[in-house]
A = this chain, B = another copy of it.
Amino acid sequence: MNPHLLSIDSLDRGRVDHLLHVAGRMEPIASRRQVTRILEGAVLGNLFFEASTRTRVSFNAAFCRLGGSVCDTTGFTFSSMAKGESLYDTSRVMSGYCDAIVMRHPEQGSVAEFANATNVPVVNGGDGAGEHPSQALLDLYTIDKEFTRRGKTLPGAHILLTGDLLHGRTVHSLIKLLSLYPPMRITLVAPPGLAMPPALVELVASRGHHVEQRDSLASDFGDLDVVYTTRIQKERFTSELSETFNGVSADFLVNKGFMDRRCTADTIVMHPLPRDSRPDANDLDVDLNGDPRLAIFRQTDNGIPMRMAIFATLLQVEDLVEKDMRPVRWFVPERLGTRDD
């Protein structure tokens, strides 16, 4: 078995299904009804060479909820690398300290290079324009969970992806994951210059999915099951694109108006977060806060059971967790947010 989780490309349908299944079994712990200490004594090296709070804390909390301890490293400058240390050396050294390693790094391919030097499980926490497989897995887990609750299934579903489909590594990874399942209808809506890379569109189509590309949200899409929105990632624009890009027009705004006009009461809205809530960003609108169709916070909550499932399978304890549970003794609010669901 591949001991790492580096790319969606290395996952087959069986391993994905197993991860979804294990994530479900982690729910009693993730939702804080039960506690486990199965990884007590284990140490996670959480290496974030690119700034991130959400993803870092999510991996950290998931490992803690399995009973392990976490050593965080954050920041762009990494002392040893600044002194000329190779990724090979860094990786092998960290292997002596940690039982599992999560790494985020601004350079595409760096996490895979890091993983080459170690037999300790490595999880890609995002490598620049590359991949972010745990996000795609928690997205798929969210769709599956929301569908199950509504009596729907993945095959035949209609999923709309919109926003910066060129730079959004989360949509790239998600569309690859979806393509492993029986045919769906996938609609892609991106502003000019930010369309999904053609190779990915072809891959998905070649696996039997119906893919359609539109250049505006102002049209009739038929019944939509999922609207997946993403932030415009100006920090990844080429200088050429930066010069010609005029901002996102309101035509690409997903808000209550769009949902009421184009969607049903059963359509869910997703977003990998963070969303840009500044005026004129035209990112997913806050007027949907409190609307039960807004699944973005249930989606981020799902990061915990999915990342627990990733650690549990890589460290091969997924079948031991249930025997090692006991009830939580502290206060847990019925709902995490004040305006949820």
Contact = CB atoms under 8 A, between A and B. Distances in A.
State the copy count for this chain: 3
A337 B85 contact: no
A116 B77 CA distance: 32
A332 interface: yes
Interface residues on A, range: 35 or more
A83 B276 contact: yes
A43 B64 contact: yes
A275 interface: yes
Contact of A80 (B35, B70, B274): B274
Nearest to A277: B86
Contact of A330 (B231, B315, B335): B315
Q: Per DSSP, are chain A's interface residues mostly helix, strand or loop, or mixed? A: loop
A13 interface: no
Given A65-B41, A84-B281, A329-B38, A71 B57 contact: yes
Contact of A88 (B56, B289, B331, B333): B289
A334 B95 CA distance: 12
A79 B336 CA distance: 23
Interface of A: 3, 29, 32, 35-43, 45, 51-54, 56-58, 60-61, 64-65, 67, 69-73, 77-80, 82-86, 88-90, 92-99, 116-121, 231, 273-278, 281, 283, 286, 289, 297, 300-301, 303-304, 314-317, 320, 328-339
